[in-house]
Amino acid sequence: MPQPVHTTFGALSDVDFVAHATAMINNSRTAAKKREAIAYLQSVCSTDKNSIETERKVINTKRLGQKKRQDKIASMLAELEFDFQQTPELFTAQSVISDADMITALTENSKTIFVGGKQFSGAVIISGSNVTLDGEGSGSAKAESLSNTAVFAGDLILSGDKITVRNIDFTSSTNAAVRVSGASNVTLENCRFAPGTNLTDTKWFYGAGLQTGDLTIKNCFVQNFDSWMLMDASTTSAAATVRLDQVRIKNNFFKNNAGSIAIRGPESDPNKSVIVTGNRFETTTFHQYFWDFLEVSGGVKKVRIEKNVCIGAVGTHTAAGKKGGFQIWSKSDRPWTLYFKDNSGQNLKVFLKIAHNAGFYSPNTFDDENHRIEFDGTLTDVAFAFSPVYKKADGTTLSENKWQEGDYVPENVATYPSVPNTINTTGYPVVSPS
């Protein structure tokens, strides 16, 4: 095979260069031609060496210039001779921001408000954009060591763009702890959320009004909410009308909540991706209308569920019903994928569910990079690791048996004639189509 003529080897990997050089020598059948091949290789390498040397000199000149500028700044700083005795406030604890100043700052754009050590009662309303509210704290939600010095009694209400709330303990004053009203690009990080006393039907995250953008919830501790809805990212528990870009739920602890989390996307314009990793979902009591710890549904392009733990109420695996871990499905004709790995479950009826009825679409199982369903975590007292069916097409399935019997008839059955393949080396039970 003829070899390309290179004027530089800079773009070749080591493996590619060795292959090229070897081929040049092997293609030469006489000593003279082999010497010419060696001369070619040597000539190009010499040219590359000269180019590298020129680049090195340019970089060294830039480094020298940078050092001179840095030295000048250092000398100017020393000449100022700051007298820190004149700034005693630098060495004493500063006053916590007042309620009035904090409330005003939350309405303004491009603000970072530090509220470490602050105690506050009342609704926290963030209407400004590019706002960060930071209570300063540390610790791990899953280890239950999360410790924040800012303690707020009241709801969190969000309506701006690019809002970050971190390191604050919130105790809600109504039955909807976090409410979104026209906000987009929201981040909640290192926060603790609990309902106030004497409240019923308490929801944690009521996301109706979340606009297109990203939603990130990281290292938060969410405890003791008793509604059937723990969280709905962008709706009132209805069909989604706004598309979200990146939804990330990472390293949180959802403890002793009775309800479910739902992340819904529009069928006509699916959510870009939903990534749920490293979370712990654990409860001793389910609401009677609880369905799964987390649902991703409607329309979505990519779902990634990894390294999560789901622990339900004892005896769920033998009780009548369908309470489970994760429910993932799409009614959009846009291709979608599910990467499911390293997840563990206990006390559940069905750990993973994917609907494949009329109106639903099978995931793109040909996408080897983004699609994988593997049951390599530990499942204890789980009746079924996986169900690819949701009731029979003739409508005869009882409600309590949905996800335990049904037909595989997705809209794209011609493309995906069989249920998605799973890696299940432990042999956990799975539901088979009727």
- 156 pLDDT above the threshold of 90: yes
- 203 pLDDT above the threshold of 90: yes
Candidates 186, 337, 218; CA nearest to 273 is 337
Among 92, 125, 157, the domain-final residue is: 92
Provide the number of structural domains found in the chain: 2
- 385 pLDDT above the threshold of 70: yes
pLDDT band at 80 (very low <50, low <70, confident <90, very high): confident
Tokens of 427: 């042999």
pLDDT band at 96 (very low <50, low <70, confident <90, very high): confident
pLDDT > 90 in the chain, percent: 79
**62 with 139, same domain?**
no
Q: What pLDDT score does 82 carry?
A: 66
- 94 pLDDT above the threshold of 60: no
Q: What pLDDT score does 39 carry?
A: 87
**104 with 74, same domain?**
no
Q: What pLDDT score does 91 carry?
A: 57
**169 with 59, same domain?**
no
**70 with 139, same domain?**
no
Q: What is the pLDDT of residues 158-180, one digit of tens each?
A: 999 999 999 999 999 999 999 99
Candidates 177, 169, 184; CA nearest to 130 is 184
In a domain, 228, yes or no: yes
| DSSP class of 418 | S
Q: What pLDDT score does 72 carry?
A: 87
**87 with 196, same domain?**
no
Q: What pLDDT score does 373 carry?
A: 98
Q: What pLDDT score does 134 carry?
A: 96
**38 with 130, same domain?**
no
Averaged pLDDT of the chain: 93
In a domain, 270, yes or no: yes
Q: Which domain holds residue 30?
A: 12-92
Q: What is the pLDDT of residues 33-55, one digit of tens each?
A: 888 888 888 999 989 998 888 88
- 302 pLDDT above the threshold of 60: yes
pLDDT band at 356 (very low <50, low <70, confident <90, very high): very high
In a domain, 415, yes or no: no
For 179-216, b/e burial (b = at least 16 CB within 10 A) is bbeebbbbbbbbbbbbbbeebeebbbbbbbbbbebbbb
Q: What pLDDT score does 26 carry?
A: 83
How far, CA to CA in Å, does 398 sit from each of 318, 320, 402?
16, 11, 7
- 89 pLDDT above the threshold of 60: no
Mean pLDDT along residues 219-228: 98
Which residue reads 């990997």 in tokens? 13
In a domain, 22, yes or no: yes
Q: What pLDDT score does 116 carry?
A: 94
**28 with 126, same domain?**
no
**265 with 284, same domain?**
yes
- 187 pLDDT above the threshold of 60: yes
- 331 pLDDT above the threshold of 60: yes
- 2 pLDDT above the threshold of 90: no
Q: What pLDDT score does 78 carry?
A: 76
**77 with 158, same domain?**
no
In a domain, 411, yes or no: no
In a domain, 430, yes or no: no
pTM check: above 0.85:
no
Weakest mean pLDDT among 43-52, 81-90, 341-350:
81-90
Check: CB of residue 114 under 8 Å from CB of residue 132. no
**49 with 121, same domain?**
no
What is the CATH classification number for the domain harbouring 262?
Answer: 2.160.20
**193 with 67, same domain?**
no
For residue 120, the surrounding DSSP H or E stretch is strand 119-121
**114 with 223, same domain?**
yes
In a domain, 407, yes or no: no
Tokens of 84: 């820190």
In a domain, 6, yes or no: no
Q: What is the pLDDT of residues 235-269, one digit of tens each?
A: 999 999 999 999 999 999 999 999 999 999 999 99
